[in-house]
Amino acid sequence: MKRSEIIDAQRRALKMLADAGIAVTEEEARTVEVADFGLGRLESEGLEIVVYENNDRYCAKELVLFPFQTCPEHKHPPVQGRSGKQETFRCRKGVVYLYIPGTPGEKVAAKAPNEFYTVFHEIVLKPGEQYTLPPETLHWFQAGPEGGIVSEFSSPSVDEADIFTDPNIKRIPIIED
Amino acid sequence: MKRSEIIDAQRRALKMLADAGIAVTEEEARTVEVADFGLGRLESEGLEIVVYENNDRYCAKELVLFPFQTCPEHKHPPVQGRSGKQETFRCRKGVVYLYIPGTPGEKVAAKAPNEFYTVFHEIVLKPGEQYTLPPETLHWFQAGPEGGIVSEFSSPSVDEADIFTDPNIKRIPIIED
């Protein structure tokens, strides 16, 4: 990703947070993580993240999704003898479609961006609704037409350990000046 | 507490949440916890709580404080061989004054409701600001004139284990019909 693209995505994410009445500090605003997963198509597969806290006992983040933006399918493996990350997604704004293993519904609201999406049991999250994923659950999620904001409460986060279905994904971004 | 008082406090807390743009489910609205700590003076010492998630790995709550309402001084001891609860308070709305052990500031903004308050090192939390308390840190907090809403991210919560400075406190409420 180019730095200019990151700055633009940060600006848009911060506007969505502000419009939702979610305050962040100046430091958090400067360091909003923009993840394109090394794919170079942020609008369709990407995620904007404000990490509130990530210590050795728990983690809390705000996840911002642009309209129809998708967080690619992945799971959280055990790390250094600890169970994989367990996480609760709580929708704060917009609508977010979460997909996990299980029977696909008759209608699947989101459109998978490509062939690297394999689970289609749909959970619809509207503001105030939440879902807790057991460790090692394969999952992906996509925002509706207005985008979405999701609070993530979880056990500690070790992003670099995540296992993505798409072998082209690099979780830790490479920034070009 | 009388049931009518609980229902009134729930109603007020839900209005504050709605005004802050924080959505809750109908089930959460019905089960907002109103804690008067067995003291019978909810307006000065009390707390309204929405528990989003409390599992064996992490916990997330929304804490609502009415104007000048105080959560009494307490700490979280080790439980069943696990370190005491570690918690992050993130202010979402209003101003909240948090007190921990350490040098008291020249001016202490909050007024302790009685003699059972012993720590006065002040941390001011405005929207977007947060503070993480190490386990077993004695602490209390009070909202400013507009009340306050605080997101609490933490290790698992075992409220009945909390140790309060005021020996009259009973953490688990007794409800009279």
Note whether B153 contacts A129, CB cutoff 8 Å. Answer: no
- For chain A, the farthest-separated pair of C-alpha atoms sits apart, in whole angstroms, at 46
Residue B76: which of B87, B85, B67 has the closest Cα? Answer: B85
Q: What pLDDT shows up at residue A90?
A: 98
pLDDT, one tens digit per residue, over A164-176 is 999 999 877 777 7
CA distance A43 to B95: 36
Note whether B21 contacts A24, CB cutoff 8 Å. Answer: no
DSSP for chain B?
Answer: -BHHHHHHHHHHHHHHHHHTT----HHHHHT-EEE-TTSS-TTTB-EEEEEEEE-SS-EEEEEEE-TT-EEEEEE---BTTBPPPPEEEEEEEEEEEEEESSPPPSS--S--SSS-----EEEEE-TT-EEEEPTT--EEEEEEEEEEEEEEEESPP-GGG-EESSTT--SS---B-
- The ipTM (two decimal places) reads 0.95
Give me the sign of the Cα torsion angle A141, A147, A152, A156: positive
Q: What pLDDT shows up at residue B74?
A: 98
Angle made by CA atoms B37, B42, B47, in degrees to the nearest 5: 65
Give B31's pLDDT tier (boundaries 50, 70, 90). Answer: very high
Phi-psi region of A18 (alpha: psi -120 to 50; beta: other; left: phi over 0): alpha
**Residues in chain A closer than 8 A to B128 (CB atoms):** 23-25, 28
pLDDT, one tens digit per residue, over A40-97 is 999 999 999 999 999 999 999 999 999 999 999 999 999 989 999 999 999 999 999 9
Tokens of A125: 């999250």
CA distance A30 to A40: 22
CA distance A31 to A44: 22
Coil vs helix vs strand at A138: coil
pLDDT, one tens digit per residue, over A128-162 is 999 999 999 999 999 999 999 999 999 999 988 99
Best probe of the A interface among B153, B154, B155, B157, by most A CBs < 10 A, is: B153
Q: What pLDDT shows up at residue B172?
A: 78
In angstroms, the separation between the Cα of residue A61 and the nearest Cα of chain B is: 10
Indicate if the pLDDT at residue A107 is higher than 90: no
Note whether A52 contacts B22, CB cutoff 8 Å. Answer: no
* Cβ-contact B157, B59 below 8 angstroms: yes
Backbone dihedral angles phi then psi of residue A96, each to the nearest 5 degrees = -125, 130
Best probe of the A interface among B24, B53, B86, by most A CBs < 10 A, is: B53
* Cβ-contact B159, B169 below 8 angstroms: no
Q: What pLDDT shows up at residue B138?
A: 98
CA distance A135 to A83: 7
> Whole-structure pTM over 0.90, yes or no?
yes
pLDDT, one tens digit per residue, over B122-169 is 999 999 999 999 999 999 999 999 999 999 999 999 988 999 999 999
